[in-house]
């Protein structure tokens, strides 16, 4: 499969010279034979995301969405658009909870991956291949978990006082990074304080997505969850294959994920420039605590004790295992370090959970 991807990249370089890193990502992740052609997430796949760790994640995200829905005056049906919905694990959890609460919901899952769209169809929400195809939300909610860091980005390096763009070229049997001129529009988006030889990622794909979001979201909130910083350097480019971190992302394209943390401060500033309101960026562990994670743990402890008392030891062990797996969601050294960025259209209040998560004393 990935031979096909490498051949396509080589052909593009032969035709036009070194390609941007963003174009490399398009081929490696989203082209035919690319890494995301089939959903690669989960214990049997290459890495896990929060919804795959424990269903409590979907429950707590649902609470966040319901707070935003309250602020919108509880319009029914509740319109939710999930971007980069993957195999639908998060959508399934959210929809089950909303159905149980008797809330009429119109859920749209947006997925670029044909394999993921097949899985999503089984859930029967509306499925689209691009946010461009989604009718304006007026009102509605937008959700994305771990999408932005997978959107194509470009790379720059400070060289001799100037910025150069790092592009992907070919050297014999290998794909290699090569330095080329940096267009002024790209240089404008790069951090201004890069030292000699230092590199940065410019999240061009994430910024473009925010452009579409600002057009589609006429009234409502967006919750964007991703790895990255609240401003400035957001982490190295890396990959994942078979649950292991990969440093050389150019080797065997299509066989591994390619990602880098996102400067969410830059994303938020771009959203503000387009008329959206930035309510805040908080680490996931804070958001989940504010949404009732500790209460859920207490409930699970009580359930485990009841199961033991009733002689249902195996189920008690499962409850224990689930709770310990879920702790990854709030571990600041694991998934708890993901960041939640909340945006809205003007005139809407900051959701309660976010205001609480922004308080320094939370969790003390
Ligand atoms: C890291 S996965 C996260 C999947 C899911 N949200 C989760 O938490 O498990 C990123 C997903 O975004 C999808 N994706 C990438 N670019 C996209 C785009 N422009 N529009 C919609 N989906 C996209 C990929 O196909 C992939 O399923």
For residue 363, pLDDT beyond 70: no
Going from the Cα of 116 to the center of ligand 1, the distance in angstroms, rounded, reads 9
Closest of 344, 211, 341, 352 to residue 277, by C-alpha: 344
Tell me how crowded residue 72 is: count the other CB atoms within 10 A of its CB: 18
Counting from 1 in the atom list of ligand 1, the atom nearest the Cα of 47 is 1
Task: Select from 31, 86, 89, 94 the residue to mutate for testing ligand 1; criterion: most ligand atoms less than 8 Å from CB.
Answer: 86
Distance from C-alpha of 170 to C-alpha of 291, rounded to nearest angstrom: 49
The 10s digit of each residue's pLDDT in 158-204 is 998 899 999 999 999 999 999 999 999 999 999 888 999 999 999 99
Token pair, residue 242, equals 């078979």
For ligand 1, atom 1: residue with the closest CA:
146
For residue 249, pLDDT beyond 70: yes
Taking the CA atoms of 357, 358, 359 and 361 in sequence, report the sign of the dihedral they define.
Answer: positive
Task: Select from 132, 145, 150, 209 the residue to mutate for testing ligand 1; criterion: most ligand atoms less than 8 Å from CB.
Answer: 150
Distance from C-alpha of 241 to C-alpha of 15, rounded to nearest angstrom: 30
The 10s digit of each residue's pLDDT in 201-245 is 999 999 999 999 999 999 999 999 999 999 887 889 999 888 788
For ligand 1, atom 12: residue with the closest CA:
84
Counting from 1 in the atom list of ligand 1, the atom nearest the Cα of 151 is 16
Taking residues 81-98, report their average pLDDT: 97
Distance from C-alpha of 329 to C-alpha of 359, rounded to nearest angstrom: 20
Going from the Cα of 173 to the center of ligand 1, the distance in angstroms, rounded, reads 30
Distance from C-alpha of 39 to C-alpha of 245, rounded to nearest angstrom: 18
The 10s digit of each residue's pLDDT in 2-55 is 789 999 999 999 999 999 999 999 999 999 999 998 888 877 777 789 999 999
Longest dimension (CA), the chain: 72
The 10s digit of each residue's pLDDT in 315-329 is 999 999 999 999 999
Contact between residue 230 and residue 265 where contact means Cβ atoms under 8 Å apart: yes
Closest of 125, 68, 135 to residue 93, by C-alpha: 125
Distance from C-alpha of 5 to C-alpha of 109, rounded to nearest angstrom: 27
The 10s digit of each residue's pLDDT in 104-118 is 999 999 999 999 999
Residue-level pLDDT at 233 = 79
Token pair, residue 24, equals 């490399």
Q: Is 185 exposed, middle or buried (0-12, 13-18, 19+ CB in 10 A)?
A: exposed
Going from the Cα of 111 to the center of ligand 1, the distance in angstroms, rounded, reads 6
Contact between residue 190 and residue 200 where contact means Cβ atoms under 8 Å apart: yes
Distance from C-alpha of 331 to C-alpha of 329, rounded to nearest angstrom: 6
Distance from C-alpha of 18 to C-alpha of 23, rounded to nearest angstrom: 10
Contact between residue 49 and residue 93 where contact means Cβ atoms under 8 Å apart: no
Closest of 354, 359, 364 to residue 64, by C-alpha: 354
Going from the Cα of 150 to the center of ligand 1, the distance in angstroms, rounded, reads 7
122-126, 211-215, 339-343, 347-351: least confidently modelled range: 122-126
Within 135-277, residue ranges assigned H as helices are 184-189, 204-216, 264-273
Helix (H) or strand (E) holding 325: helix 313-326
For ligand 1, atom 14: residue with the closest CA:
84
For ligand 1, atom 19: residue with the closest CA:
112
Going from the Cα of 320 to the center of ligand 1, the distance in angstroms, rounded, reads 31
The 10s digit of each residue's pLDDT in 251-300 is 999 999 999 999 999 999 999 999 999 999 999 999 999 999 999 999 99
For residue 62, pLDDT beyond 90: yes
Please state the φ and ψ torsions of residue 360, each to the nearest 5 degrees: -60, -30
Distance from C-alpha of 173 to C-alpha of 349, rounded to nearest angstrom: 55
Q: State the pTM of this model.
A: 0.96
For ligand 1, atom 11: residue with the closest CA:
84
- Ligand 1: residues with CB < 6 A are 36, 41, 49, 51-52, 83-86, 89-90, 110-113, 116, 130, 145-147, 150-151
Helix (H) or strand (E) holding 22: helix 21-25
Residue-level pLDDT at 364 = 54
Going from the Cα of 84 to the center of ligand 1, the distance in angstroms, rounded, reads 3
């Amino acid at each position: 499969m990935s031979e096909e991807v490498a051949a396509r990249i080589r052909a593009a370089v032969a035709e036009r010279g070194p390609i941007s890193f963003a174009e490399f990502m398009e081929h490696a992740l989203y082209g035919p034979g690319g890494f995301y052609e089939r959903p690669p997430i989960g214990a049997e796949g290459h890495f896990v995301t929060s919804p795959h760790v424990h269903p409590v994640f979907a429950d707590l995200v649902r609470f966040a969405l319901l707070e935003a829905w309250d602020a919108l005056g509880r319009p029914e049906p509740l319109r939710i658009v999930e971007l980069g919905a993957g195999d639908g694990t998060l959508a399934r959890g959210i929809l089950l909870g909303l159905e149980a609460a008797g809330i009429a919901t119109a859920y749209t899952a947006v997925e670029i991956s044909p394999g993921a769209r097949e899985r999503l169809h089984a859930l029967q929400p509306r499925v689209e291949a691009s946010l461009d195809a989604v009718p304006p939300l007026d009102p509605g909610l937008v959700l994305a978990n771990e999408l932005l860091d997978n959107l194509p980005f470009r790379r720059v390096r400070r060289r001799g006082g100037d910025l150069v763009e790092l592009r992907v070229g070919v050297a014999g049997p290998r794909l290699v990074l090569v330095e080329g001129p940096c267009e002024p529009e790209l240089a404008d988006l790069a951090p201004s304080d890069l030292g000699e030889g230092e590199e940065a990622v410019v999240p061009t794909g994430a910024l473009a997505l925010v452009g579409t979001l600002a057009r589609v979201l006429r009234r409502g909130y967006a919750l964007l969850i991703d790895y990255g910083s609240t401003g400035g350097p957001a982490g190295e480019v890396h990959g994942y294959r078979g649950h292991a971190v990969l440093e050389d992302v150019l080797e065997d394209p299509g066989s591994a994920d390619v990602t880098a943390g996102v400067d969410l401060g830059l994303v938020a500033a771009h959203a503000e420039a387009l008329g959206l309101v930035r309510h805040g960026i908080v680490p996931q562990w804070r958001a989940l605590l504010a949404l009732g994670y500790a209460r859920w743990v207490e409930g699970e402890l009580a359930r485990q004790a009841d199961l033991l008392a009733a002689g249902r030891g195996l189920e008690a062990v499962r409850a224990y295992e689930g709770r310990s797996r879920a702790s990854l969601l709030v571990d600041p050294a694991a998934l708890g370090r993901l960041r939640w960025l909340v945006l809205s259209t003007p005139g809407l209040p900051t959701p309660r959970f976010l205001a609480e998560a922004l308080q320094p004393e939370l969790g003390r």
